Structure 1
Amino acid sequence: MTSPAPSISDADRAAVTAQLGRAPRAVREVAHRCPCGLPSVVATSPRLEDGTPFPTLFYLTCSRLASKLGTLEADGRMREMTERLRTDPELAAAYQRAHEAYLAERDAIEPLGTDVSAGGMPGRVKCLHVHAGHALARGRGINPFGDEALDEVGEWWAAGPCVHVDRPGDETATRD
């Protein structure tokens, strides 16, 4: 059974399209807004429109934040984080709880019949974008690696919006 999908405004859809450089897929709603007011994370349906499973519940859209997280990934942070899972039982337990919360929330929308969540949870860290999106959408203390990555990138929004929507309700936007 699928829960009804919330909606996303035309202006938010235009901003997300500009942020991603393509039309978003399976978007249910804006899950977090950047301090500049634009969407930074969207919640997605567990399946794409054609029925294909899409296990990433929280999709990071802010192109500036995505770039900063990509730099952390290139610097080897995921490998370091995964190694810490092996040596820090409290961190591993917190990460397991993040995995369980992610699955429970996704399955409440539509069960996919799998215990695969996203971003490598719970055994490894393979996508900081997923973890940061989860942390932004659900707040600090839910996903330890999302919190850590966000702390490390700092105030990504300080330079202003990553895209510019021409006017409220307009379906066009430009990337910065």
Structure 2
Amino acid sequence: MTIELLSAADEVVVTEQLQRRPRGVVGVAYRCPSGHPGVVATLPRLPDGTPFPTTFYLTCPRAVSACSTLEASGVMTDLTDRLGTDPVLAAHYAQAHRAYLSARAEIAAGTTGEVTEVAAVSAGGMPNRVKCLHALLGHALAAGPGVNPIGDLTLQLIRERWPFPCTDA
């Protein structure tokens, strides 16, 4: 996984996307085809000392909106139920949890060091349930296809319903 340094121009875009200044960002973990930041990688401990488990923070407004709409439709319950009946999906999701923790540890090693308060906590409900599609999609986009199966399914559902990722400049 490649994390690009956050440029001044990227920070302006992310600030606009979030409607606030980003906190604890180490870089851009995913860009949409038009080059906009879509996922930022964040420190496991924010500058004010707060532990922050969401390593891959989804910033793309289209993706955020689509995830919110999917969450409101009840898809998280359906996906959690699938984890209970599909042992292959559950095993891949547990593997995604470990990959997330590994990526966070790599970031932490070069910055804040281990943050014990979130050491075993990944994101999005991993490894046992589906809690936040935003976090799971952020991880899937940052890590690439095949790493987070629920994030990949979220992306598939989004692409079936909405224009994503953006292609405008």
TM-score, normalised by the number of residues in structure 1:
0.85
> Alignment partner of 2:48: what SS?
coil
Paired AA for residue 112 in structure 1: V
Which of 42, 45, 54 is the matching residue for 1:44? Answer: 42
Using the alignment, how far apart are the partners of 1:40 and 1:92 within structure 2? 27
2:135 is aligned to 130
Using the alignment, how far apart are the partners of 2:88 and 2:33 within structure 1? 31
> Could you say if the C-alpha distance between residues 6 and 40 of structure 1 is closer, same or farther in structure 2, counting changes exceeding 3 Å?
closer
Paired AA for residue 82 in structure 1: T
The reply to whether residue 78 of structure 1 matches residue 76 of structure 2 is yes
Paired AA for residue 156 in structure 1: F
Using the alignment, how far apart are the partners of 1:85 and 1:62 within structure 2? 27
> Alignment partner of 2:165: what SS?
helix
The reply to whether residue 59 of structure 1 matches residue 67 of structure 2 is no
Using the alignment, how far apart are the partners of 2:165 and 2:49 within structure 1? 35
Using the alignment, how far apart are the partners of 1:6 and 1:49 within structure 2? 20
Q: Give how far 1:107 is off.
A: 1.5
Using the alignment, how far apart are the partners of 2:6 and 2:166 within structure 1? 25
Using the alignment, how far apart are the partners of 2:6 and 2:106 within structure 1? 19
Between the two proteins, the alignment pairs up a number of residues equal to 157
Q: Looking at CA atoms only, which structure, 1 or 2, has the larger radius of gyration?
A: 1
TM-score, normalised by the number of residues in structure 2:
0.88
Determine if contact 2:62/2:166 at 8 Å carries over to the other structure.
Answer: no
Q: Give how far 1:108 is off.
A: 2.2
1:50-78 C-alpha deviation (Å, 9 max, x unpaired)? 11110111000001110011110000011
1:170 is aligned to none
Percent identity over the alignment is 55
RMSD of the alignment, in Å? 1.5
1:111-142 C-alpha deviation (Å, 9 max, x unpaired)? 22221111110010000011111010010000
> Alignment partner of 1:29: what SS?
strand
1:160 is aligned to 168
Determine if contact 2:4/2:28 at 8 Å carries over to the other structure.
Answer: no
1:106 is aligned to 104
Paired AA for residue 95 in structure 1: Y
Structure with the largest fraction of helix: 2
- Does 1 or 2 have the higher relative contact order (CA < 8 Å, sep 6+)? 1
The reply to whether residue 115 of structure 1 matches residue 123 of structure 2 is no
Using the alignment, how far apart are the partners of 1:7 and 1:87 within structure 2? 41
Q: Which runs of 5+ in 1 are unaligned?
A: 162-176
The reply to whether residue 147 of structure 1 matches residue 155 of structure 2 is no
> Alignment partner of 1:52: what SS?
coil
Q: Give how far 1:104 is off.
A: 1.1
Determine if contact 2:97/2:127 at 8 Å carries over to the other structure.
Answer: yes
